[in-house]
Amino acid sequence: ILNVEQSPQSLHVQEGDSTNFTCSFPSSNFYALHWYRWETAKSPEALFVMTLNGDEKKKGRISATLNTKEGYSYLYIKGSQPEDSATYLCAFNDITGNQFYFGTGTSLTVIP
């Protein structure tokens, strides 16, 4: 079982604040790193798939970076809005690509 860790476990921010959280994963045998947003009562929704060291991806106010050599990825949210409230999951694929190893998630609450 590969260890994927996310921090912090939960986060409360005021509307308009920018925030970021971390996903740590094994730096060996890397294939891909995935970020998902999981809103209450909905299915997890894919945000980003990142495969190259130094990758940066952006979708609206959300962006992510990847460092495969040291085994971490950051997710940034600029100007948080209440609709950003969700659990953010990261998942690691090793080189076999067969399995996704998920972190426990970061629960974000944006207070209006």
Partner 1 sequence: DGGITQSPKYLFRKEGQNVTLSCEQNLNHDAMYWYRQDPGQGLRLIYYSQIVNDFQKGDIAEGYSVSREKKESFPLTVTSAQKNPTAFYLCASGFNEQFFGPGTRLTVL
Site for partner 1 in 23-62 (CB under 8 A): 32, 34, 36, 42-46, 49
3-class DSSP assignment, residue 61: coil
Ramachandran assignment for 68, one of left (phi > 0), alpha (psi -120 to 50 degrees), beta (any other): alpha
Q: How far is the CB of 46 from partner 1 (least distance, A)?
A: 5
Cα torsion for 53, 25, 2, 57, to the nearest 10°?
A: -60
Q: How far is the CB of 35 from partner 1 (least distance, A)?
A: 11
Rounded to whole angstroms, how far apart are CA atoms 18 and 16? 7
Rounded to whole angstroms, how far apart are CA atoms 41 and 34? 21
Q: How far is the CB of 63 from partner 1 (least distance, A)?
A: 18
> Which residue in 18, 53, 81, 99 binds partner 1 (CB under 8 A)?
99
Interface region with partner 1, contact rule CB under 8 A, candidates 14-22, 63-71, 76-84, 101-109: 101-109
Tokens at 47, concatenated:
């945000």
The verdict on 4 binding partner 1 (CB under 8 A) reads yes
Residues of the shown chain interacting with partner 1 in the complex, contacts defined by CB under 8 A = 1, 4, 32, 34, 36, 42-46, 49, 89, 91, 97-105
